[in-house]
A and B are shown apart, each in its own frame.
Chain A
Amino acid sequence: GQQLNQSPQSMFIQEGEDVSMNCTSSSIFNTWLWYKQDPGEGPVLLIALYKAGELTSNGRLTAQFGITRKDSFLNISASIPSDVGIYFCAGQLDTGNQFYFGTGTSLTVIP
């Protein structure tokens, strides 16, 4: 299957700092999704992107669909303790029905 490279693998930041993470693929995607997963729970959709260059915000979260259609970025501004969790990117090819997932970025926010 498709491999999505997500980085960084983990982050430890102070409360109030901004966070950036990204996801890259070797193939062109028509959809990029960003999820947050808390321990023992299912992933919750944060932001969905459907067009190259698209920049979408959801509160303190902002995500972008890369111009090359092979990457996507997620930024979290002014982090707070409840931002702790694992963030996953996911993408879908132009052809096919599958979604492919990155390996996740584990975020720890230190109060």
Chain B
Amino acid sequence: DGGITQSPKYLFRKEGQNVTLSCEQNLNHDAMYWYRQDPGQGLRLIYYSQIVNDFQKGDIAEGYSVSREKKESFPLTVTSAQKNPTAFYLCASTSGRGRGNQPQHFGDGTRLSIL
């Protein structure tokens, strides 16, 4: 089945560590997105990528990094510079480089917690 796979489902990080969240899609979508969701809040955009080897910062990019070496994959690294990383992270993708009347589809999320 086509879809977006995020892994792991739960992730724990020690203070000062970097961690990488995986997002893979087999929908042949051009654009991919990372969002952060905090309890009782909407989704805030961290980074997005319209094509391979290109990505743009969203509203809350500080403390995060991404790469887009393959169309199917858009991993997110939460660096030690992110002082409040505990949140639910959602990956999404859409066709048409993110424009042209195409909806976003989401993975099931990764919950990151600090030990």
Q: Which residues of A contact B (CB under 8 A)?
A: 1, 4, 6, 30-31, 33, 35, 40-45, 48, 50, 88, 90, 92, 97-99, 101-104
Contacts and interface: CB of A to CB of B under 8 A. Distances in A.
Contact of A101 (B42, B50, B56, B111): B42
A41 B43 contact: no
For the side of the interface on B, what is the size category?
A: 20 to 34
A45 B40 CA distance: 19
Contacts, number: 65
A42 B58 CA distance: 19
B101 A42 contact: no
Is chain A's binding surface mostly helix, strand, loop or mixed? Answer: strand
Given A43-B90, A97-B31, A98-B58, A88 B43 contact: yes
A50 B101 contact: yes
Contacts of B41: 103-104
